Amino acid sequence: MNHPATAPRGRQRHLVEGRTIDAVPESERHGRPRDLFAVWFAANISPLTIVSGTIAPLVFGLGLWPGIAAVLLGNMLGGFLMALHAAQGPRLGVPQMIQSRGQFGSHGSLLVTLVVVFMYAGWFASNLVIAGQALHRSVPALGTSGWLVLCALAGLVVATVGYDLIHRVGRWATVITVALLALCAVRVFTTPGVVERAANATGCTLSGFVGMTALGILLQITYAPYVSDYTRYMPAHAAARRSTLWFTYWGSVLGSVLPMFLGIVMGIAVADDAIAGLDTVLGGPLSAVVLCSFAVIVVHVNSMNLYGTSLCLVTAAQTFRNTWLPGRLARTALIAGPLALGLTLALAFQDTFLASYTDFLAILQYVLIPWTAINLVDYYLIRRGRYDVPSFFAPGGGVYGRVNGPAVLVYAVSFALEIPFMHTSAYTGAVAIALDGIDLSWAVGLLVPTVAYWAIARHRVQAALPATTPVPPSPALPQEGS
């Protein structure tokens, strides 16, 4: 059997994607980096992002301008970290969680891979709840649960077809989202009393500002485990990698901050459900058109969640059976399981959504930020993009082994050090209590592994690096920074 990283394939393209987690060779690279702007812009301009904006006034007690400042700062910082992951895709041609084996080893990366699967299920459920509630307001005959099921199945179809269809849907969804956002903004800002109430809201606390900034950072970093899944088919030359980074960055940041700004205004103006507020402000047929159109966006976002889930599950399974790569039917079955889990969560928590969603984001923050710090330090500061990609698929992890002890240790210690800084509805650490509820675990989770992993790994790893870059997908691939 051909090795998954080197299996020969021609330039032919199929309707349903056949390649899963194996490295994409240069002969199959296609697409333009600027297409990534549409993918990530559309993925973020969703009803869920509007609801995320309402957290600033409703949960953190921020007024209009402090809320906008916190959202902008958090998304710009987190978006850059996320986009640094995106630039890894063209270089290596593999999904992000496969690349993570280069830091943690084939078995050591398994824990984070499985955590990411549950993250996908949580995002899938969150998007379904908002879509179902919005559609039920427009067409109440079907019921919220019925809309949840229909949106879930539509996402399954797009995810099963795979990479190319997700990009196409993203381009169309971008056109729809720009029109919807502009329409909503015009109606909201021309409705008497809305702007006045928003402008007069001046609440601001340090804990609230830090909390909302952290939420903006996290909303971007949660894309890090799968952002390069949508760039690995891109051309591998250095200019394409730079373009990949910036088109991803601006698409994701602008796609997040604009609807979050709208969410802040709606949260202040209606002091309740932002979707219900939009329904009231838009009124009549216009509201029905806007809320139904949101379903297109949710299908796009959830197809990305399901697609990423399938890659993570294949990665987990291949940890123990390195020559296995699923066909199209097997990949569809792998998508269906997490879909059922996400749908179950959506049906169970639709009535207590906002509280559950806020805690869900906090938990993701504690788990993902130390991982992203280790990954970026290893890729950019230590190895500088030089990896032996065939070892990602080799029995026993190849040159990276089954478990990279230093990386796993740094990750575990970093997570433990976050605990006193945590602040959720179920638990608040001693440091967070002393700081009047300010949650600085994200800063600990970012700084500690950055310094610790660099100090531990720089001499050990660099001594073992090859003099030239091994290039599995493309023998002419230049070194990082060339």
Identity at 118, one-letter amino acid code = F
CA distance readout (Å), 481 to 91, 237, 380, 455: 11, 10, 10, 23
CA distance readout (Å), 412 to 112, 396, 408, 444, 453: 11, 22, 6, 13, 12
CATH label of the domain that carries residue 274: 1.10.4160.10
Report the DSSP beta bridge partners of residue 423: 428
For position 478, what pLDDT does the model report?
Answer: 33
CB 188 within 8 A of CB 194: yes
For position 273, what pLDDT does the model report?
Answer: 67
Structural domain boundaries, residue 289: 37-369
CA dihedral 195, 199, 203, 209 (to 10 degrees): 90
What are the backbone angles phi and psi of residue 428, rounded to the nearest 5°? -130, 125
This model's pTM is above 0.95? no
- Helix/strand/coil (H/E/C) assignment for every residue in 331-374: HHHHHHHHHHHHHHHHHHHHHHHHHHHHHHHHHHHHHHHHHHHH
CA 441 to chain centre: 19
Quote the number of domains for the chain.
1
Do the domain assignments include residue 448? no
Do the domain assignments include residue 451? no
Do the domain assignments include residue 174? yes
Do the domain assignments include residue 245? yes
**Euclidean distance between the first and final Cα of the chain, in Å?**
35
Do the domain assignments include residue 27? no
Per-residue pLDDT of the chain (482 residues; tens, 9 = 90+): 344 444 444 444 455 555 667 777 777 777 788 888 888 887 787 777 888 888 888 888 898 899 999 999 999 999 999 999 988 888 888 888 888 989 999 898 888 888 888 787 777 787 777 777 777 777 777 777 787 788 788 877 777 776 677 777 777 777 777 787 788 778 777 777 777 787 787 788 888 898 899 889 988 988 888 888 888 888 877 666 788 889 999 999 998 998 899 888 888 877 666 677 777 777 767 777 777 777 777 777 778 778 778 778 888 887 887 777 676 677 777 777 777 777 777 777 666 666 667 677 778 888 889 999 999 999 999 988 888 888 888 888 888 889 998 999 999 999 999 999 988 777 889 998 988 888 888 899 999 999 999 999 887 766 555 544 444 443 333 333 33
Please state at what angle helix 64-86 crosses helix 238-270, rounded to 10 degrees.
160
For position 163, what pLDDT does the model report?
Answer: 67
d(CA 383, CA 380): 6
Do the domain assignments include residue 145? yes
Do the domain assignments include residue 127? yes
For position 282, what pLDDT does the model report?
Answer: 74
d(CA 311, CA 334): 9
Angle CA(171)–CA(174)–CA(180) in degrees, nearest 5?
150
Do the domain assignments include residue 23? no
